[in-house]
Amino acid sequence: GLGAHVVTSSGASIEWSTNLASDSAVEYGTSTALGKTSGTQSALVREHRVQLNSLSAGRTYYYRVISNDGRGLRKTSELRSFKTLPTR
């Protein structure tokens, strides 16, 4: 399922699955307005993993994933969130 995995103080790995082979992108930001994108990974896959880097420690980030299959169907997830770890 969709989720933030391997969350550190400066990054997170966003992972999800799709029924059809699709590309991978994540919109994210420190508010629900998002504002940043990971850029699209163009490989068409069913198991997706996008690494977000250069995040601020101890902050809540909101994100949603976007996948486009080979036929042009676009799927966007609901808004989710994760919190980066604080610095030590």
Tens digit of each residue's pLDDT (9 = 90 or more) over 13-39:
999 999 999 999 999 999 999 999 999
- 70, two tokens: 């080979």
Burial class (CB in 10 A: 0-12, 13-18, 19+), 2: middle
**pLDDT at position 70, please?**
87
**pLDDT at position 1, please?**
75
For the segment 32-67, what is each residue's pLDDT rounded down to a tens digit?
999 999 999 999 999 999 999 999 999 999 999 999
Model's pTM, two decimal places? 0.92
